[in-house]
Structure 1
Amino acid sequence: MDPRRPRALAAVAVLLGATLPGCAGDGSGGAGGGPGAAGLGDPYFPRLGNGGYDVRHYALTLDYEPRTGRLTGTADITARATQTLDAFNLDLTGLTVHSATVDGEPAAVRRSDGELTVRPAGDVADGATFRTVVRYSGAPATITDAEGAREGWLRTADGAVALGEPTGSTAWFPGNHHPSDKATYTVTVTVPRGLSAVSNGEPAPPRTSGDRTTFTWRSTEPMASYLATLAIGRYDTRTSRTPDGIPVHTAARGNPALLGEIPELLAWEAGKFGPYPFSSTGAIVDPLIDVQYALETQSRPFFDKNTLDAPTLVHELAHQWYGDSVSPKSWRDMWLNESFATYAEWLYAEEFQDTPVGESFEEAFAEPGNWAFPPADPPSAGHLSDPPVYYRGAMVLHKVRQAVGDATFFAVLRGWPARYRHANASTEDFVRYVEEVAGEDLTDLWDVWLYGEDRPTGPSA
């Protein structure tokens, strides 16, 4: 996410924190089948996500009418049970559920707040792969957090944009909406002829029948649901390639010149961070959207009317390694996403804008707001995107660089996304990894820079 406009998230934490009476379980299942837990116990969003199963693939078939704002959807979810299930939950905000089936048999459904409980006709066995099909419709919600920042489904005059961090994806499809449960996706969207529908991954050729056109996008690498996106509108869509042959798919109103720099910027970042982890790249730019942040939506970062500039483009592309391929195990690990993306900006400024990394560090060190709390321990969900997560997090990386030397540090920059490619990792995983590569104990560094409550005294850099 663009660090220039931190976001408060407390309101959506409350929205998705409600317990569904009689349906939440502890995940034990008992002797026979039992309900999967209605939340995963995330420290900031305890009811976000669901227990008892692991999603493998989402096949979303959607039809959208911009004139009325109505979305009609079918979510075909393939998952593996991690316990014997007589019921399980999906996260879904708003929308009307018309029916559900599990392995082709009708299933009972119940709604409460942000939870959809599905009760199959028979138990799903522990370890079994099963398919859940949910049919739903309605006007998807725009979710507004405590600071007024908007996510979820954002309507425009001719379409909409779906943005998901941290809970917005619950507004347009049911699922296990916690970053620890990554899956592959197929998104098929039918819209009025003349509009485009753009999502993550690779496109199939569009199909037009009468006054409607259908677009299909496939993401074959695992993706956390908050990184899924969908943009519908009258876009100028273009395809090019990076020097390494990676397809670059862009969608914008007009053709911002900066989008032409994506191939070279991605090649520069690959030189720093290792091979690009996805099958395509690109961007979505919609100046009709005014959310005042950019977002690292997987393989297709999103930019609103305010945020398309070179540093932010570098930041969101860096997230493809740090945050998208290596995703957080919990929302407490958010600093791992943002520190690396911010440090990428510092590296870019040094090489292309004559601003040494040390100068960027000193500027961040001098800013009082960066010391409000330790980056690895935000005080609440409302502070997950505050400055310490970005800038003090980047300072942690710079102190690691000073402690271990450039050769080891740049080995970490490449090795970390290679070790956890398309997986999830925690702060503890990162600490262990750095000390493994460096071959030394860095406890004092972590205690002061990562977990310390106060700004260090004495020389900063």
Structure 2
Amino acid sequence: MSAAPAASHPAPATARPAPGAPGIGDAYFPHLGNGGFDVRHYDLDVRYAPDTGRLDGRATLTARATGSLSVFDLDLQQLNVTSVEVNGLPASFTRDGGELRIHPALSLPKGRTFTTTVVYGGIPQPLSGPIVFGSQYGWMKTADGVFVACQPNGASTWFPASDHPADKATFDVRIRAPKGLTAISNGRLLATHERGRTTVTHWRESKPMAPYLATATIGKFDVKRGTTPGGIPVYVATDPALTTGGLDFYGITTEATDHWSRVFGPYPFEETGAIIDDVPQAGFSLETQTKPVYSAVRDESTVVHELAHQWFGNSVSVRRWKDIWLNEGFATYAEWLWDEHKGRRSTHQSFLRAYNEHKPDDPFWKIDIADPQRDTMLSRAVYFRGAMTLQMLRERIGDRAFFRLLPLWTKLHRNGNVRTAQFIGLAEAVSHRDLGDLFGTWLSSRGQPRLP
């Protein structure tokens, strides 16, 4: 029998370039993030004038095309764009609300790494609304500089971004501020030098970071540096106008960082720390990566909460905002673990306090914290029902499995993004139990669950 002739196959057609989507696909924020590419690195160079409030910036983004692109978007609110280049060639652009739509001179093939440079400026304005406790957030002018805390959608008020936690990237941030002020960003301080009346600081965050966790806080600060007993570098900056009331931010930060490293797994970043500023218009603190920001002198529980976020929220980030309990429930449970560690009360006692504080008909029990909706995604229920869920999980599967689960979760998803279903699946795999009823009851039931 003779062999059949080989069939001829036409070469695969190259995909026709198409516009990238203006959003990443998050129902809570349909226009945040962008489709068609994955940002790998931000190189930001910003100049800020506190007397006028003006910011001038040059941002270079390195990204990889995930589709063949004819046009793509970046998120940028309020500020004016002077010029855009893609791979060194001038690109045309248009604006539509918070979208910067870029038309590169040459289309970008799928898989190609490309750079985009945006020159921009203006006077950034803070955002406000019901999401963040009714407080201002984002870029907030202070008496001596600026306080930058951007959850959930404020990063694009000060630099062009794919402003969603599902698109994490590394960062270099150069801040040019008047001499005599301290400028602080994420990661490690690489260099500081003076040019006339301006001080330039260069910070580098070498681990992937969600844009909302980036900061460029500027002001007068007393800085204390050192290392934790476990060897992790520490950088704590405190506004000298504040009275700390005896709260030792540096001491708590070093102790809690090392303790969580034992409970949650190795510290995921190169430096730990804190920025404590005097910002009355901001009624919150935020887990900005490597250096949580505090808008006033808070308490020990707040410090340990924000540091726990370095694992839960920062290193392991949500893929969609609906899963925010994986950040806030875990950090709230860390407060209970800290009290247990200090011998004040057990996590079960903390659970009962929270459980009994809310009567059966309280609206607290009417929020499905596995999908809490945009305007209530940072509600008290997300924090405390999330922590209750973890306590019920611990009591169901036992301490041995529970304290295997937490560091395994942070190890498997280090520098990544997650959904609730993945945590449930891992909890079931570790414990060898079906846990669907437990998570359904404590995350999503409408009404106060009965205690087991």
1:47 corresponds to 2:37:
no
CA–CA distance in structure 1, aligned partners of residues 134 and 230 of structure 2: 41
Structure 1 match to 2:368:
374
Equivalent residue for 1:33?
Answer: 17
The answer for the alignment partner of 1:435 in structure 2 is 428
TM-superposed CA distance for 1:426, in Å, is 0.5
What is the aligned partner in structure 1 of residue 10 from structure 2? none
**CA displacement 1:361-392 (0-9 Å, x = unmatched):** 111112235313121121x2100001111100
Classify the secondary structure of the residue corresponding to 1:127: coil
Residue 204 of structure 1 aligns to a residue in which SS? Answer: strand
Residue 395 (structure 1) aligned with residue 374 (structure 2): no
For 1:121, the aligned partner's letter is A
Contact (CA 8 Å) 1:364, 1:370: kept in 2 or not? no
Per-residue deviation, 1:353: 5.1
* Map 1:346-357 → 2, pairs under 5 A: 346-352=336-342, 354-357=344-347
Contact 2:274–2:291 (Cα < 8 Å) also in 1:
yes
- What is the letter of the counterpart of residue 400 of structure 1? L
Please say if residues 369 and 387 of structure 1, whose CA atoms lie closer than 8 Å, have aligned partners that are also in contact. no
Secondary structure of the equivalent of 2:166?
coil
- Partner residue, 1:263: 254
Cα offset, 1:447, TM superposition: 2.0
TM-score of the pair, normalised by structure 2:
0.92
TM-score, length of structure 1 as denominator length: 0.91
Q: Pick from 272, 294, 297 the counterpart of residue 303 of structure 1.
A: 294
3-state SS, counterpart of residue 74 of structure 1: strand
Aligned to 2:438: 445
**Residue type at the aligned position of 1:283:** A
Higher mean C-alpha deviation, range 352-361 or range 206-215: 352-361
- Per-residue CA deviations over 1:246-302 (Å, capped at 9, x if unaligned) read 110111113844222111121111121111100001000002343111100000001
The one of 183, 187, 190 equivalent to 2:169 is 183
Deviates more, 1:36-45 or 1:315-324: 36-45
Match of 1:219 among 205, 216, 225: 205
Aligned to 2:350: 360
What residue identity is the alignment partner of 1:411?
R
- Alignment-derived partner of residue 282 in structure 1: 273
Query: What amino acid is the match of 2:396?
Result: A
Judge which range, 412-421 or 327-336, deviates more. Answer: 412-421
**2:284 paired with 1:293:** yes
Query: Which residue in 1 is equivalent to 2:123?
Result: 139
Find the structure with the greater CA-based Rg. Answer: 2
Residue in 2 that maps onto 1:385 = 378
Could you tell me which runs of 5 or more consecutive residues in structure 2 were left unpaired when the two chains were aligned. Answer: 1-13
Question: How far apart are 1:308 and its partner, in Å?
Answer: 2.0
Q: Indicate the residue corresponding to 1:27 in structure 2.
A: none
Task: Give the unaligned 5+ runs of structure 1.
Answer: 1-29
Aligned amino acid, residue 311 of structure 1:
S
What is the one-letter code of the residue matched to 2:75? D
1:4-23 matches, cutoff 5 A: none
Q: Which has the higher contact order (CA 8 A, sep 6+)?
A: 1
CA distance in 1, matches of 2:291, 2:128: 23
Bigger shift: residues 252-261 or 154-163: 252-261
1:455 paired with 2:441, answer no
Find the aligned partners of 1:290 and 1:137 in 2 and give their Cα distance: 24
Q: Does 1:333 align with 2:326?
A: no
C-alpha separation in 1, matches of 2:220 and 2:280: 13
Cα deviations across residues 414-447 of structure 1 (Å, max 9, x unaligned)? 1111110010011011111111111121121122
Contact 2:236 2:250 in 1 (8 A): no
Q: Find the partner of 1:100 among 76, 84, 103.
A: 84
Q: Which runs of 4+ in 1 moved over 4 A?
A: none
Counterpart in the other structure of 2:3 = none
Q: Does the CA contact (< 8 Å) of 2:186 and 2:288 recur in 1?
A: yes
Q: In structure 2, which of residues 363, 377, 402 is the aligned counterpart of residue 409 of structure 1?
A: 402
Partner of 1:8: none
Match of 1:316 among 297, 306, 314: 306
Identical counterparts, % of pairs: 44
Aligned to 1:60: 44
Partner Cα distance (1:107, 1:49) in 2: 20
Please point out which of 373, 393, 412 is paired with 1:419. Answer: 412
**Superposition deviation, residue 233 in structure 1:** 0.5
